[in-house]
Structures are given as C-alpha cells and as structure tokens.
C-alpha cells in the first residue's frame, strides 16, 4: 500500500525543501511502517506551497505515483501570503477551484482521500486581520471535504481543545509551524484515521 502526504512546509518539515523538524509525516511513517509491513509513506509536501502549486504538480507528484491513499493539508499560505511576504491574494473562488481540481483528479484515480483542516494558533505570525480570511478558507475546505473526502481531520478544533491545557508555544514555533509536541499531536490524529483505513 502506498500513502502520499501532500501540502506545504507543515507537511514538508525539512524532508524535501525546507520547514520545521521534526515533522508529523516522519513520526507517522516511523510508527506505521514499523507496525504494518508493506506500507509505504511518501512525503511530497513543499514549503511555501499554496493550492495553485498543488494544481500545477498534482499529476507528477500524486497521480503518477499511484497512491492508495492521499492525505492533503493545504491552505495556510493562501491566507498568509495575502498579508505578508509576497502580498499575493488567493480569492475564495480561486481557492475553491484549485482545491476542487486536485480532489476531482484523485477521485477519478480511485484514491482514498483524507483532508486535514488548515490550522493556526493565535500567536506568533498570526495577526487579527487573518481571521475573516482564515474562517472563509476553512469553511471552503469543510464543504469540499463533505463532497470528496473519505475522512476529514478537523485539526483546528482539535488544537483548540489541546491548548486548553497546553501552552501554544510548546506546540508551534510561530502559530503555524509545529515543533516536536505539535508534530506528535498531529501525527496522533493522523494515525487514528490511518489505522481505520489499513
């Protein structure tokens, strides 16, 4: 069985083109491949990617590899880039179109799809002017998940519960990029879903 994880730096986590160690994919791989011989886990996350980047590389980096299951976590850069860095906006309509395009391709290819909700903790890189944009994009992801996903991981809600008894800066370095405890937290939620599919 082949499983591909797709996304940005949160998924990448220094396995491909930069990010923050250790990553939730590596932690997941270490556990799953140790327990389930014959399972292959491939990390195709690329730091800085937005939904449009996934569209541009989906055929090569996902479809051509013939995964049985694909995990997707994308969206925070579609928000962040509007306010920082390149100041490039992804309108809601484009965000939905981009995301839906890759989902349709994977459904056509008969892959099982797990969508992971984009998340942000309210400190560090986060600014108040992100909130409306974030909520709209998150809601689009939820709507698409109902239509296309075999499983949906509501990571924002899960983090909201976790920070009731855990300091935010022990989970992420900047509200966006997980550090070890944050990666462990995400990996645990991913493994809970993945083990239902194996």
pLDDT for the residue 88: 82
Task: List beta partners, residue 152.
Answer: 115
pLDDT at 147 over 80: yes
CA atoms within 13 A on the CB side of 85: 12
Pairing of strands 151-153, 40-43: unpaired
pLDDT for the residue 19: 46
| Domains held by the chain: number | 1
The model carries a pTM of 0.95
pLDDT digits (tens, 9 = 90+) for 121-145: 999 999 899 999 999 999 999 999 9
* Residue 154 pLDDT class (50, 70, 90 cuts): very high
- Its domain, for residue 12, covers 2-197
d(C-alpha 112, C-alpha 37), whole Å: 20
- Name 123's Cβ contacts closer than 8 Å, sequence gap at least 6: 168, 169, 174, 175
CATH of the domain at 85: 3.40.50.1110
pLDDT digits (tens, 9 = 90+) for 52-96: 999 999 999 999 999 999 999 999 999 988 887 666 889 999 999
Q: List, in sequence order, every beta strand (DSSP E) within the chain.
A: 2-7, 40-43, 69-73, 112-116, 151-153
Looking at residue 178, the DSSP 8-state letter turns out to be B
d(C-alpha 161, C-alpha 103), whole Å: 29
pLDDT digits (tens, 9 = 90+) for 13-64: 877 544 446 799 999 999 999 999 999 999 999 999 999 999 999 999 999 9
pLDDT at 114 over 70: yes
Could you tell me which residue, 178 or 86, shows the higher pLDDT?
A: 178
Tell me which residue of 75, 93, 77 sits closest to 85, measured CA to CA.
77
């Amino acid at each position: 069985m082949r499983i591909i994880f797709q996304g940005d730096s949160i998924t990448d986590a220094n396995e491909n083109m930069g990010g923050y160690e250790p990553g939730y994919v590596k932690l997941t791989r270490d556990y799953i491949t140790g327990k389930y011989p014959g399972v292959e886990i491939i990390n195709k996350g690329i730091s800085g990617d937005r939904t449009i980047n996934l569209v541009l590389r989906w055929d090569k980096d996902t479809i051509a590899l013939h995964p049985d299951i694909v995990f997707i976590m994308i969206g925070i850069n579609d928000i962040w880039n509007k306010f920082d860095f390149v100041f490039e906006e992804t309108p809601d309509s484009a965000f939905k179109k981009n995301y839906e395009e890759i989902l349709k391709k994977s459904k056509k290819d008969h892959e099982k799809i797990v969508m992971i909700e984009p998340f942000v903790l309210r400190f560090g890189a986060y600014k108040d002017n992100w909130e409306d944009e974030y909520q709209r994009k998150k809601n689009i992801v939820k709507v698409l998940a109902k239509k296309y996903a075999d499983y949906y991981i509501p990571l924002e809600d899960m983090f909201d519960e976790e920070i009731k008894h855990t300091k935010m800066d022990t989970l992420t370095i900047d509200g966006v990029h997980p550090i070890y405890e944050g990666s462990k937290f995400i990996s645990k939620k991913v493994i809970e879903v993945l083990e239902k599919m194996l």
